[in-house]
Amino acid sequence: MANEDTPMGFIVSSTIRSNIKRFYIDGAEAVATFHGDLVKYVGDSSTSVDRPTVDVLTAANVAAGAPDYCGPIVGVMDTDQNAVNFLAASTAGYVDVETDPYAELLVQVEDGGTALTNAAFQDQADPIFTHAGSTLTGRSGAELNDSVVGDGSNAMFILLRRAGTAANDMGANVKLIVRAAEHAFLEADAIDAV
């Protein structure tokens, strides 16, 4: 039976030490912001807010290398810090991010490449952003790109195991548990910045 195609972004499955931090997203963000999107650390806060700033990770960020990736979004808020489903593109707000670099994340693998086998575990892969997030559910459309798995490339995430659900066979749209291979808090100079 084929796996259900349900992109959901990156969902925290477990953490070693949960470390949720609130960050600011400025109005210059050109993409909408959803639960399960990945963010990268930008730097000092805007003069009008008291939080460091992050940007939603995009295909361009990943292609340029993403050592400033700092985690998946677990909460989205407007500028008054009230919970909302998502932030539209070019809308300022706040996000809560799980910043534990050892957090295990649940994510769906895209169905556009070669179907993964058990040999893929401990290899690495990058996120891919071919689906829009859902304004109805507030969930990201980000998935895991299977195109570099098996070619020896370094990438953002280490593939740990298949998520333990009965209807989740290795192949297209498999749901996996992954952990960061590249993370801002694994970079020595970024730890003190946040």
Residues 95/34, Cβ–Cβ less than 8 Å: no
Q: How far from 163 is each of 17, 26, 29, 83, 181, CA to CA, in Å?
A: 21, 34, 32, 29, 19
Report the number of distinct structural domains present in the chain.
Answer: 1
Q: Is residue 5 part of a domain?
A: no
pLDDT per position as a tens digit, 138-167: 999 999 988 777 676 788 899 999 998 778
Q: What is the pLDDT of residue 1?
A: 63
Q: Is residue 115 part of a domain?
A: yes
The Cα 95–Cα 143 span in angstroms is 20
pTM of the model: 0.89
Q: Work out the average pLDDT over 38-50.
A: 73
The whole domain housing 78 covers 11-193
Phi, psi angle pair for 11, to nearest 5°: -110, 130
Q: Is residue 128 part of a domain?
A: yes
Q: What is the pLDDT of residue 95?
A: 95
- DSSP letter at 109 equals B
Q: Is residue 6 part of a domain?
A: no
Q: Is residue 104 part of a domain?
A: yes
Q: Is residue 151 part of a domain?
A: yes
- Strands (DSSP E) found in 29-68: 33-34, 38-43, 53-56
Q: Work out the average pLDDT over 102-120.
A: 84
Using the structure block, give the residue that is written with the tokens 């809308």: 91
Q: Are strands 86-87 and 127-128 parallel, antiparallel or unpaired?
A: unpaired
Q: Work out the average pLDDT over 119-135.
A: 88
Q: Is residue 1 part of a domain?
A: no
Task: Give exposure, 14-37, as e/b (b: 16+ Cβ within 10 Å).
Answer: ebeeebeeebbbbeebebbbbbbb
Q: Is residue 153 part of a domain?
A: yes
